[in-house]
Structure 1
Amino acid sequence: MYLAHQTWPELGDYVAEESVAVVPLGSTEQHGPHLPLATDYLIAEALAKEATDRTGFLCTPPVRIAVSEHHRQFHGTMWVEPEVFRDYVESFSRNLAYHGIDRIVYVNAHGGNAQHLREVGRRLRRDETAFAVEWMWDESIPDLVSEIFEHNGPHGGPKETAMVMHIAEELVRADRLEAARDGGIVDFADADARQFGSRTFYDSADNSENGVFGDQTDATPETGEELFEAASGQLVHLLEWIDAQPFADLMPEPHVDPQPGSQR
């Protein structure tokens, strides 16, 4: 069920029976010379819609601009400050809770969002407003990703390329896959990202001239379909698990006894 396509009485019927919402989040940022800036939110929205179509849960419109300042040197990248992003996500999550939603899954396809989404989830759980968790699609199927691609790469690599080939193949510049590989960093270990135990870079441009990593020529629509099916299946399992838990079991544990000052 896609929230923006429903009427308010239809959504009233939904929250009378269900309390789960899925929020897709991505970014609008460079993904090399071969992929659109929409890559992350296209993946997030496609996975969220697939899983909610299969389960009947509620899917919200996507968040398309997020924490992407580390890609700012490349044309077209848009971003908001981390604190703005956290406050925005927390605000609309509380809106959902006001309408009766108490379990939220942030379907995330951009690594820069992850820590901030977890912080929002922590805030919402702390005051027992809702149980909100971040889900990153590739982290749900790491063994499959490693099995398929020899040189995956953390950004703009073959896994994202394959996924977009499956979701929106017309947006992939297939004639630029070799240029993406040759102008970037094939093996992230070659990027000299750490010195003496310290992460010594901040921006994507510090390591990759064209902003991407991995061997994009390994991507195909067929591997994208395999990744999509596996990841959406994992998301379905997560949604069904969260829905089955008593709300009290998802909330913080009580303070251990005795509490400070309780015996005075």
Structure 2
Amino acid sequence: MRLQHATWQEVEAYLTRETGIIVPIGSTEQHGPNGLVGTDAICPETVAWEVGERHGVLVAPTQNLGMAQHHLAFPGTISLRPSTLIAVLRDTVQSLSRHGFTHVFFLNGHGGNIATLSAAFAEVYAERSLQQAPGGELHLTTNNWFAGPRVRELAESLYGDAEGTHATASEVALSWFARPEAVKQVEMSPRIAPRGSAQCDADEFRRRFPDGRMGSDPSLASIEHGKRFFEASVDDVWEAYRAFAKPA
């Protein structure tokens, strides 16, 4: 069930039986020579939609813009400042909380969002704690689709050290499964990209990683692999969501 495809009456009815919601969040940034600029949003969105369909969980619209300043030397990247993203996330959570949602599960596709998500949660909790009137129940969490146990095991078995940390074979494969018309075959040189830190500005990042990859060889990706990552992540995410929103 997708929030943007529901009426307000349907959302109200949902809240009589469930108070959890999945919010996909990603980024709009370069993903190397054969990866889509929208990869980090496409991947969590695709997984969230399937979890929603299989298990009747409401899925919010995807937050497509994230904290991606270190990719801005590559055309097509759009980044929010951390303070801007924190404000967007606070307003999102407060809007959902007003309606009665108590468990907001952010399904993340971009490592660069993790610190900002944590800061946004801290801001929300601090504001509620400082109110004179007590607020209602509210629980927030981040789950990274690429870090689930089934996904990590599959990536290790398929790619080993060639998985890397950005423009990875696994995320390219999953995005191709979701958008098969976008498959691109590109020769990588070097085959495995340089490794290093992304804690720098955009120009320095491009000097360190000239084609945008970090330690990866996404030429190993395929649609068939993407289907396997899709199924693995759907299982990982449902398990994590159920433990978060429906504890025994």
The TM-score normalised by the length of structure 1 is 0.83
Alignment size in residue pairs: 234
- Between the aligned partners of 1:20 and 1:124, the Cα distance in structure 2 is 17
- Between the aligned partners of 1:36 and 1:143, the Cα distance in structure 2 is 24
For the residue of structure 1 that corresponds to 2:16, the secondary structure is helix
For the residue of structure 2 that corresponds to 1:211, the secondary structure is coil
Which region of structure 1 is more displaced relative to structure 2, 114-123 or 43-52?
114-123
- Between the aligned partners of 2:103 and 2:123, the Cα distance in structure 1 is 13
Structure 1 residue aligned with 2:63? 63
- Between the aligned partners of 1:12 and 1:233, the Cα distance in structure 2 is 27
Structure 2 residue aligned with 1:146? 156
For the residue of structure 2 that corresponds to 1:237, the secondary structure is helix
The alignment yields a C-alpha RMSD, in angstroms, of: 1.9
Structure 1 residue aligned with 2:97? 97
Shift of 1:221: 1.2
Unaligned stretches of 5+ residues in structure 1: 247-264
Kindly provide the CA deviation profile for residues 99-130 of structure 1, in whole angstroms up to 9, marking residues without a partner as x: 01010110100111111112223344453652
Contact 1:105 1:133 in 2 (8 A): yes
For the residue of structure 2 that corresponds to 1:62, the secondary structure is coil
Structure 2 residue aligned with 1:252? none
- Between the aligned partners of 1:51 and 1:118, the Cα distance in structure 2 is 24
1:186 corresponds to which letter in structure 2?
I
Indicate how the Cα distance of structure 1 residues 132 and 74 shifts in structure 2: closer, same or farther if over 3 A, else same: same
- Between the aligned partners of 2:82 and 2:54, the Cα distance in structure 1 is 33
1:131 corresponds to which letter in structure 2?
H
- Between the aligned partners of 2:229 and 2:45, the Cα distance in structure 1 is 15
- Between the aligned partners of 1:98 and 1:120, the Cα distance in structure 2 is 17
Structure 1 residue aligned with 2:178? 167
Selected match of 1:240 from 239, 242, 245: 242
1:209 corresponds to which letter in structure 2?
P
Structure 2 residue aligned with 1:226? 228
Shift of 1:200: 6.9
Q: Give the alignment of 1:187-202 within 5 angstroms.
A: 190-191=194-195, 193=196, 201-202=200-201
- Between the aligned partners of 1:118 and 1:139, the Cα distance in structure 2 is 17
- Between the aligned partners of 1:164 and 1:200, the Cα distance in structure 2 is 25
Indicate how the Cα distance of structure 1 residues 56 and 200 shifts in structure 2: closer, same or farther if over 3 A, else same: closer
1:40 corresponds to which letter in structure 2?
D
- Between the aligned partners of 2:8 and 2:199, the Cα distance in structure 1 is 50
1:235 corresponds to which letter in structure 2?
V
Shift of 1:186: 1.2
- Between the aligned partners of 1:200 and 1:118, the Cα distance in structure 2 is 18
Indicate how the Cα distance of structure 1 residues 200 and 90 shifts in structure 2: closer, same or farther if over 3 A, else same: closer
Structure 1 ranges of 4+ moved more than 4 A = 199-203
- Between the aligned partners of 1:12 and 1:120, the Cα distance in structure 2 is 26
Contact 1:103 1:130 in 2 (8 A): yes
Q: Percent identity?
A: 25
Structure 2 residue aligned with 1:44? 44
Q: Give the alignment of 1:1-264 within 5 angstroms.
A: 1-125=1-125, 127=128, 130-140=138-148, 141-150=151-160, 151-174=162-185, 176=186, 178=187, 181-182=188-189, 186=192, 190-191=194-195, 193=196, 201-203=200-202, 204-213=205-214, 214-245=216-247
Kindly provide the CA deviation profile for residues 82-109 of structure 1, in whole angstroms up to 9, marking residues without a partner as x: 0110111111111001001010110100
- Between the aligned partners of 1:123 and 1:130, the Cα distance in structure 2 is 13
- Between the aligned partners of 2:169 and 2:180, the Cα distance in structure 1 is 13
